[in-house]
Amino acid sequence: MSLNESIPFSFNDPFNSLSEFFKNPDESSKDSSVFACMKVISEGVAQLPLHVYKKDGKKSNKQTNHHLYEILHSQANNKQSSFSFFETMQYSLLLRGNAYALKVSGRSPLEELVYINPDFITPFCVKDGESYYDRYVAGSKIYYQYINPKTSTHEVLLDRDILHIQGLSPNGLFGINVIEHLAMTLGYSIAAREHGARYFKHGGHPSVVLTVKKTMSEPIKERMREAWIKRFSGVQNAHQCLILEEGSSVSPLSISNVDSQFLESRKYQRSEIAAIFNVPPHKIGDLENASFSNIEQQSRDYVNHTLMPWNIRWEQAMNHSLLTKSERKKGYFIKFNVDGLLRGDSEARAKLYTSLFQTASITPNEIRALENLNPTENGDETFYPLNMQSIKNLGKENEK
Q: Mean of the pLDDT values across residues 37-61?
A: 90
Question: Over 80: is that where the pLDDT of 397 sits?
Answer: no
pTM of structure:
0.68
Beta bridge partners of residue 86, listed in sequence order: none
Higher pLDDT, 297 or 125: 125
Highest-confidence segment of 163-172, 194-203, 279-288: 163-172
- In whole angstroms, give the CA distance from residue 222 to residue 248: 16
pLDDT per residue as tens digits for the range 224-249: 777 766 665 554 555 555 555 656 66
Query: Which strands, in side-by-side order, build the sheet including 50-56?
Result: 59-62, 50-56, 332-336
Q: How many C-beta atoms surround the C-beta of residue 208 within 10 A? A: 14
The region, left, alpha or beta by phi > 0 then psi within -120 to 50, assigned to residue 63 is beta
- Domain boundaries of the chain, sorted by first residue: 1-203+268-342, 343-400
Q: How confident is the model at residue 267 (pLDDT cuts 50, 70, 90)?
A: low
- In whole angstroms, give the CA distance from residue 321 to residue 159: 9
Q: How many C-beta atoms surround the C-beta of residue 1 within 10 A? A: 14
Burial class (CB in 10 A: 0-12, 13-18, 19+), 20: exposed
Percent of the chain topping pLDDT 70: 64
For residues 283 and 40, is the Cβ–Cβ distance under 8 A? Answer: yes
Instruction: Return the exposure string of 122-156: e unless at least 16 CB atoms fall within 10 Å of the residue's CB, then b.
Output: bbbbbeeeebbbeebbeebebbbbbbeeeeeeeeb
Burial class (CB in 10 A: 0-12, 13-18, 19+), 15: exposed
Q: How confident is the model at residue 117 (pLDDT cuts 50, 70, 90)?
A: very high
